[in-house]
Amino acid sequence: MNEIEQKMARRKHLFIGSGCIIIALIILSFVLFARSYQRKTDYARIKQANTLRVIVEPNSMSYQVIDIDSIAGLQALMIQQFAHDHQIDKVVFITEPNLSAAIDSLLQNKVDILAWHIPIYNQMRQKISYSIPVFTSRQMLIQRQKAPNDSIAFISNQLELANKDVYILPGAFYRQRLNNLAEEIGDSIYIKEIPNAVPSDLLKMVVDRHIDYAVCDEFVARVLLKKEEFQTLDMSTAISFTQNYSWALNPNTPILCDSINAWLSVYLESKEYNTIYRQYTGVD
C-alpha cells in the first residue's frame, strides 16, 4: 500500500469512527431527553388522563369492596382523598396479594402508586421511591391463644421461634425480618409462603390448625381479630420493632412523589385523617 492509499485508509477509518461517535451521541441525547421528559411529565400525564392507577393489597385495612359503589380501607380512603384534592376524577384500584408482583407492576409503569403496608428498608431505596411515612406499625406473630394441655408451644418471646415453621404471605418483606431474626437468635426459622394468600387466609389456617404460626402486620391483624371467627387467636408477640410504613412510587415519577409528599404532610395532621386512622387501627 503506497502513501496515498495509506492516507485514504486513515481518513476512511477516521470518518467511520467519527460517524459512530456522532450516532452514539445522538442516541444518548435521545435517551436522556426521553428520560427527562418522562420525569418532567409524570404528574401531567396523570392529570391529562384524569385517572390515578393504584395497586393495593386486598385486606380490610388497605382495600375492600363493600358494594358496587363503595369501598373501604384506610389506604383506599386516603388515595381517594388525594385524588379528590387534586381534581383527579377516576381512581382505578388493582388488587395484588403478592408484593413482589406489585412492585414489578409499579416499575413497569402499569400503575402510578403502590399503596401497601411497606416497611421502609434502605436497600429497597435502590429499586423504588418511598413517600414520607404514612404511619408506623410492626410485624406480629399470629398463633392460637394459650390453652391448657395444648401440645403446640405458645411463643411468648422471639427466642422460642427456633426451629419453628412460620408462614407468611407470598413476596412479603417479613421474610427479610425473619431471616435477620434467625441470625439474631443463632438458630433456624423455617419460613413458608402460602401461594395466592391474603392475611385472612393465614389467620383462618391458624384457627383451623393447618398451621401454627403466621406473621401479619399489626394493624391488619388488629382489624381481623375483631371478627368473631378469629377471636381465638393471639397477636401479643412482636417479631419486629416499630417501623415507618410508606407508599411506593416509580423512581421515574419525582413530580408525583413530590405532590404526594406535599399532600401527606398536611393531610396526616388533619382531623379527617385522625378519624379514619382511629376507625381502622383503634389507636388514638
Cross-sheet strand order for the sheet of 165-168: 190-193, 165-168, 214-217, 139-144, 233-238
pLDDT of residue 31: 45
Could you read off the pLDDT of 46-77 as tens digits, one per residue? 988 999 999 998 887 888 888 777 888 899 99
C-alpha distances out from residue 219 to 29, 227, 281, Å: 48, 14, 6
C-alpha cell at 105: 407492576
- Predicted confidence band at 34 (pLDDT cuts at 50, 70, 90)? very low
Q: Where are the alpha helices (DSSP H) in 123-187?
A: 174-185
What share of the chain in percent tops pLDDT 70?
85
Asked whether 138 and 243 are in contact (CB, 8 A), the reply is: yes
CA distance 249 to 11: 51
pLDDT of residue 6: 54
Q: Nearest Cα to 250, choosing from 27, 9, 46? A: 46
Asked whether 72 and 64 are in contact (CB, 8 A), the reply is: yes
CA distance 100 to 128: 12
Q: Buried b / exposed e across 106-126, counting CB within 10 Å, b at 16+?
A: bbeeebbbbbbbbbbeeebee
User: Cell match 404528574: residue?
Assistant: 43
Nearest 5°: CA angle at 129, between 242 and 270?
A: 60
Could you read off the pLDDT of 222-265 as tens digits, one per residue? 888 988 999 999 999 999 888 898 999 999 999 999 999 999 99
C-alpha cell at 205: 389456617
Could you read off the pLDDT of 171-223 as tens digits, one per residue? 777 888 899 899 999 999 999 999 888 889 999 999 999 999 999 988 888 88
CA distance 115 to 76: 8
Asked whether 242 and 217 are in contact (CB, 8 A), the reply is: no
Q: Nearest Cα to 211, choosing from 139, 143, 145, 163? A: 143
What average pLDDT does the chain have? Answer: 85
Name beta bridge partners: 114. 55, 248
C-alpha cell at 177: 425480618
